[in-house]
Amino acid sequence: MARYYMQYYFVVPYLLIYSVSIIDRILFSILNDEDNENLRVVKQFRRYIGFILFTEYSTGKRINAAFKDISRGLMLTCPRCEKQLPIDRADCKFFFETEIILCPHCFINILTKENIKVIRNTLDF
Ligand SMILES: [Zn+2]
């Protein structure tokens, strides 16, 4: 019986993530102005990170390659100090919990419209 519960709790979160992804795709195809497009990208980026974190949690193994791919390709710019900021695992976890990405120099949220476009273009969302 415990095996069935383990299988259930392993599979259901993936099905929920997939379902929400489909619902978002349909909903944001109707709400297609710029603000909603940015919201869609933020939600998809958060779901992507959540998918990685859940997989790490459920398998007990760190997936460093996924976070390295994010940090290698994604370079955001702070609107205040204009420094180029790579995104690492800690930034991803913090973003997943708060939907905020902080500049380590200014401590302001760098999730601007321009940086959301960078996320969309870099990660092909
Ligand atoms: Zn800054």
pLDDT in tens, 26-74: 999 999 899 999 999 999 999 999 999 999 988 888 888 888 888 888 9
Q: How far is the CA of 110 from the centre of ligand 1 (A)?
A: 8
- Check: CB of residue 122 under 8 Å from CB of residue 111: no
3 state DSSP class of 104: coil
How much is the pTM?
A: 0.86
Q: How far is the CA of 68 from the centre of ligand 1 (A)?
A: 22
- Structural tokens at position 21: 């992804």
Q: How far is the CA of 101 from the centre of ligand 1 (A)?
A: 11
81: which DSSP letter? T
Q: How far is the CA of 16 from the centre of ligand 1 (A)?
A: 36
Q: How far is the CA of 55 from the centre of ligand 1 (A)?
A: 32
Distance of CA 113 to the CA centre of its chain: 15
Helices (H), the chain: 2-30, 34-59, 64-73, 89-98, 113-123
3 state DSSP class of 20: helix
Using pLDDT thresholds of 50, 70 and 90, give the confidence band for residue 82. Answer: very high
d(CA 52, CA 69) in angstroms, rounded, equals 12
Query: Does the pLDDT of residue 7 top 90, yes or no?
Result: no
